Amino acid sequence: MRPKEEHQIIQTIRSTQDTDEWKERYNTRAGVEGTLSQGINAFGLRKARYRNLPKVRLQHQITAVAINIVRMIAWLDGIPHAQTRISRFAALAVA
């Protein structure tokens, strides 16, 4: 159970999620989240090989280039990028 003020704040924030403006902003974020997820899972973005900040920055830039190349090859081969995953629980609501 949450305190009344906290519950009201949460309900107010949740009600703004029904607006078109919020959905448009969230779509942008969803695209960024997908890119970050691909970088972390496929290219090891979470751990840097170096401790020196300029080298870490260079590693991230090279990783970004690699992500772009992989995406370009997938686009040329006609492989669509993954859609947003639907949890098993949410899939039950659709069915």
pTM tops 0.75: no
The CA-CA-CA angle for residues 58, 76, 68, to 5°, reads: 15
pLDDT tens profile 72-93: 999 999 988 777 677 788 888 8
Tens digits of residue pLDDT in 24-37: 888 888 888 888 88
Total domains in the chain come to: 1
Residue with the larger pLDDT of the pair 47 and 82: 47
Tokens representing 12 are: 């107010």
Domain of residue 38, residue span: 4-94
